[in-house]
Amino acid sequence: MKKLTILAAVFAALALSAGNASAADAAKGKKVYNKCKACHALKAGKNKVGPTLHGVFGRKAAAVPGFKYSKAMKASGVTWDEESLRAYLKKPRKFIKGTRMAFAGIKKKKQMDNLIAYLKEATK
């Protein structure tokens, strides 16, 4: 009986550590954000080639004052949430045909998970 209890405890510990290993890491997401920062700032009111990402979650597409958006972005009707950001960042020109964003996309799921985790923290 004691061996069974020990095995159960070991199995539970392994299962928990495996779950934590797959969790998104915002610190690693900051490194992924390096692909974005040449064109996008995180600071409110600071537009670059692309609009600020400050407050992006819950914001309607093409809603940053003072930024000139493409007609496609203005007409997209998108509200940025985790799902729409994932789809857009995976293949921007497929998600919104006619967007001016010249980014090829993020293909690796782990990088995307980490980036989304970072953006959730950094864009509040």
99 vs 112: CA distance, rounded Å: 20
Count of CB atoms within 10 A of residue 96's CB?
Answer: 22
pLDDT tens, residue by residue, 57-103: 999 999 999 999 999 999 999 999 999 999 999 999 999 999 999 99
Q: Higher confidence at residue 34 or residue 18?
A: 34
Domain span holding position 114: 24-122
Question: Residue 48 has what pLDDT?
Answer: 97
Please state the pTM of the whole predicted model: 0.81
Question: Residue 71 has what pLDDT?
Answer: 97
pLDDT tens, residue by residue, 100-113: 999 999 999 999 99
Is 10 a domain residue?
A: no
Is 116 a domain residue?
A: yes
Is 49 a domain residue?
A: yes
Question: Residue 16 has what pLDDT?
Answer: 52
Is 35 a domain residue?
A: yes
| Residue keyed to tokens 């998108």 | 78
Question: Residue 15 has what pLDDT?
Answer: 52
- The dihedrals phi and psi of 79, each to the nearest 5 degrees, come to -110, 125
31: CATH: 1.10.760.10
Quote the number of domains for the chain: 1
Is 18 a domain residue?
A: no
Please give the average per-residue pLDDT across 19-48, as a whole number: 91
Is 13 a domain residue?
A: no
Is 2 a domain residue?
A: no
